[in-house]
Amino acid sequence: MKTTKAKMTRTTTKPAAPESRLAMVRRARRINRELAEVYPYAHPELDFRNPFELLVATVLSAQTTDLRVNQTTPALFAAYPTPEDMAAADPERVEELIRPTGFFRAKTRSLIGLSTAIRDNFGGEVPGRLDDLVTLPGVGRKTANVVLGNAFGVPGITVDTHFGRLVRRWKWTDREDPEKVEADVAAIFPKSEWTMLSHRVVFHGRRVCHSRKPACGACPIAPLCPSYGEGETDPEKAKKLLKYELGGYPGQRLSPPPDYPGEPAPPLGAE
Q: Which residues are part of a known binding site for [4Fe-4S] cluster?
A: 209, 216, 219, 225
Indicate the residue among 109 and 171 with the shorter CB distance to ligand SF4: 171
Q: Please report whether residue 221 would count as binding ligand SF4 according to CB under 6 A.
A: yes
Contact criterion met (CB below 8 Å) for 264 and 258: no
Indicate the residue among 94 and 219 with the shorter CB distance to ligand SF4: 219
Q: Please report whether residue 227 would count as binding ligand SF4 according to CB under 6 A.
A: yes
The phi-psi region of residue 138 (left if phi > 0; otherwise alpha if psi is between -120 and 50; otherwise beta) is left
Min CB(137)–ligand SF4 separation in Å: 36
C-alpha to C-alpha distance for 16 and 186, rounded to whole angstroms: 27
Min CB(208)–ligand SF4 separation in Å: 5
Handedness of CA 73, 77, 79, 84 (dihedral sign): positive
Q: Binders of ligand SF4: how many residues, by CB under 6 A?
A: 14
**Alpha carbon distances (Å) from 17 to 14, 21, 192:** 9, 12, 32
Neighbours of 217 (CB within 10 A): 18
The C-alpha torsion from 75 through 151 and 59 to 254, rounded to 10°, is: 40
Q: Please report whether residue 234 would count as binding ligand SF4 according to CB under 6 A.
A: no
C-alpha to C-alpha distance for 17 and 214, rounded to whole angstroms: 26
Which position among 47, 66, 107, 160 bears the catalytic label? 160
Site for ligand SF4 in 74-93 (CB under 6 A): none
Min CB(216)–ligand SF4 separation in Å: 3
Indicate the residue among 180 and 213 with the shorter CB distance to ligand SF4: 213
C-alpha to C-alpha distance for 145 and 157, rounded to whole angstroms: 7
End-to-end CA distance of the chain, in Å? 67
Among 188, 194, 225, which residue's Cα sits nearest to residue 22? 188
Q: Please report whether residue 209 would count as binding ligand SF4 according to CB under 6 A.
A: yes
Q: Please report whether residue 219 would count as binding ligand SF4 according to CB under 6 A.
A: yes
User: According to CB under 6 A, which one of 43, 169, 175, 237 is a site residue for ligand SF4?
Assistant: 169
Q: Please report whether residue 167 would count as binding ligand SF4 according to CB under 6 A.
A: no
Active site residue 142: yes
Pick out the residues of the known binding site: 209, 216, 219, 225
Min CB(242)–ligand SF4 separation in Å: 10
Question: Which residues here bind ligand SF4, judged by CB under 6 A?
Answer: 169, 208-209, 214-216, 219, 221-222, 225, 227-228, 230-231
